[in-house]
């Protein structure tokens, strides 16, 4: 089946209602993922937990997404669009209800993980629907509209969360999402149609087990390094077990006639390149969402609302720029959009590697906004550029691979940089305390200064990752989509302005 046929499976399908329902569902899932960034400092106090534990509300969410998404390639072939979307939204609703009634951290984390099990299906399903409904020359604009909704969620998420935390108990964040999830489910029953026919197939249970152990163990190892150190037995065993499981998972996918996740997508050069770039920029994006609220609220004493307001302008601009960037991608391709976007992020990150206890709120708003303008330039284009090269038979697997890697990269990036921050803070504090003669008031100030220095060090790591991503961006080229697996990839010259 070639790409053009796949894009017009059923000409009678009305794209508007299908896209509307799915984008609203994806918006809700993305909104839910971002609300924790501002809430984590308060939850650390409420549950008396450390940052390395609290971050599991974010990294655990992304991890479940990353573990589940490889299975979505199979699910998208086995079930209809409507069945899969509605099931994912119902699972999401159940997790939201559990989170709302949680009275302890373990219960809240359980609710978040169940939410993630539902949300993990929605994004790859939405991207696969875009690939099915739109031809390559129209996908940039379609992805731009997806981005308008998906990126707008982080714009209002932190700000709305900040307001809720100052006015109501944190449980209100989840109670407020329940009616919206119900509305999306009802709309799905009314408007959602199937874009492809399901194919009967069996799930590879061994692959599911290997991917779950692999991604889970690696993520657990990175997270626990902040508590016990990189040389601890628990961390080393987790990382080794995770890597071995992922190696076995990869080998099984390559030798299987019907792999759970078809890794032959990596035969296509631009898909592989853009995937590598996505790893770097995703690590930067998710880690920043964790570090900035910790600096603002824990080190500087700003309120959750002030923290949310600071992030609002940049995230709002990301959403508004997304359709424009989508049209630019359709015309010029992803290369220079990505280069310019990553360069902007690098420049703005320099402003975050020397934070102090007197860095102005205005400066932080400007730098945060500039960072998100850079993100808007390439997030959708770099992912769409890679997917456009794949043949239709690999669409489901390509979207699953892309989303899996993004989620796992975000989870590992967050865990890694929180570990850097935690260890660096401890080292800085020990150096300060070693001078002796420290009063209680001075010790409190030193603790704050050490925390800020730890955050600066974590941002420096982000800067290095950004430079590596910028280097790779210069190799992006426009390529024709492949009508068959294994076909020769021809290179197009970028369109001229």
Domain ranges (residues) in the chain: 3-203+260-492, 204-259
Predicted confidence at residue 470, as pLDDT, reads 93
pLDDT value for 490: 37
Give the DSSP letter of residue 492.
E
For domain 3-203+260-492, which CATH number applies: 3.20.20.140, 3.40.50.1360, 3.30.420.40, 1.20.1250.20? 1.20.1250.20
**For the chain, first and last CA: distance in Å?**
34
Q: What is the pLDDT of residue 194?
A: 76
Residue 145 · residue 91 · CB < 8 Å: no
What is the rounded distance in angstroms from the CA atom of residue 350 to the CA atom of residue 293?
18
* This prediction's pTM: 0.73
Q: What pLDDT sits at residue 493?
A: 43
Low-confidence spans in the chain with pLDDT less than 50? 1-9, 485-497
Phi-psi region of 490 (alpha: psi -120 to 50; beta: other; left: phi over 0): beta
* Predicted confidence (pLDDT) per residue in 253-289, tens digit: 888 888 888 888 898 989 999 999 988 888 887 766 7
- In the numeric block, which tokens belong to residue 371? 């960072």
**C-alpha–C-alpha distance, residues 361 and 234, integer Å:** 40
CA dihedral 180, 406, 246, 132 (to 10 degrees): 70
Cβ-based neighbour number of residue 29 at 10 Å: 27
């Amino acid at each position: 089946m070639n790409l053009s046929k796949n894009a017009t499976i059923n000409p009678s399908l009305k794209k508007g209602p299908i896209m509307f329902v799915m984008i609203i569902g994806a918006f809700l899932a993305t909104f839910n993922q971002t609300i924790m960034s501002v809430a984590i400092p308060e939850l650390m106090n409420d549950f008396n937990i450390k940052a390395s534990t609290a971050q599991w509300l974010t990294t655990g969410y992304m991890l479940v997404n990353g573990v589940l998404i490889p299975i979505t390639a199979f699910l998208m072939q086995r079930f209809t669009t409507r069945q899969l979307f509605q099931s994912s939204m119902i699972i999401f609703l159940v997790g939201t209800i559990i989170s709302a009634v949680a009275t302890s951290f373990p219960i809240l984390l359980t609710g978040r993980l169940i939410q993630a099990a539902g949300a993990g299906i929605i994004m790859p399903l939405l991207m696969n629907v875009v690939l099915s409904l739109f031809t390559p020359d129209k996908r940039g604009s379609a992805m731009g509209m997806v981005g308008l909704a998906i990126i707008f969620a982080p714009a209002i998420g932190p700000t709305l969360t900040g307001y809720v935390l100052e006015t109501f108990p944190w449980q209100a964040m989840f109670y407020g999402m329940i009616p919206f999830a119900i509305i999306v489910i009802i709309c799905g029953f009314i408007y959602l149609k199937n874009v492809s026919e399901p194919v009967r197939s069996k799930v590879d249970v061994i692959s599911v087990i290997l991917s779950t152990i692999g991604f889970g163990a690696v993520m657990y190892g990175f997270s626990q390094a902040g508590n016990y150190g990189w040389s601890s037995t628990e961390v080393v065993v987790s990382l080794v077990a995770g890597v071995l499981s992922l190696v076995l998972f990869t080998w099984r996918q390559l030798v299987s006639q019907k792999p759970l996740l078809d890794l032959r997508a990596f035969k296509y050069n631009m898909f592989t390149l853009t995937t590598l770039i996505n790893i770097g920029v995703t690590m930067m994006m998710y880690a920043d969402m964790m570090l900035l609220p910790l600096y603002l609220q824990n080190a500087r004493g700003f309120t959750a609302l002030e923290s949310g307001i600071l992030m609002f302008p940049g995230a709002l601009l990301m959403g508004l720029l997304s359709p424009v960037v989508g049209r630019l991608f359709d015309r010029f391709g992803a290369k220079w959009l990505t280069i310019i976007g990553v360069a902007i992020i690098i420049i703005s990150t320099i402003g975050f590697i020397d934070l102090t206890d007197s860095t102005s709120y205005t400066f932080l708003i400007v730098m945060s906004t500039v960072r998100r303008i850079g993100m808007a330039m390439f997030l959708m284009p770099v992912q769409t550029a890679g997917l456009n090269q794949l043949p239709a038979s690999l669409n489901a697997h390509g979207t699953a691979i892309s989303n899996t890697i993004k989620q796992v990269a975000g989870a590992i990036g967050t865990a890694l940089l929180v570990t850097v921050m935690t260890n660096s803070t401890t080292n800085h504090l020990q150096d300060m305390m070693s001078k002796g003669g420290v009063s209680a008031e001075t010790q409190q100030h030193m603790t704050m200064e050490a925390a800020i220095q730890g955050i600066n060090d974590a941002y420096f790591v982000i800067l290095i990752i950004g430079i590596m991503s910028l280097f790779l961006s210069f190799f992006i080229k426009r390529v024709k989509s492949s009508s068959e697996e294994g076909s020769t990839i021809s290179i197009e010259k970028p369109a001229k302005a």
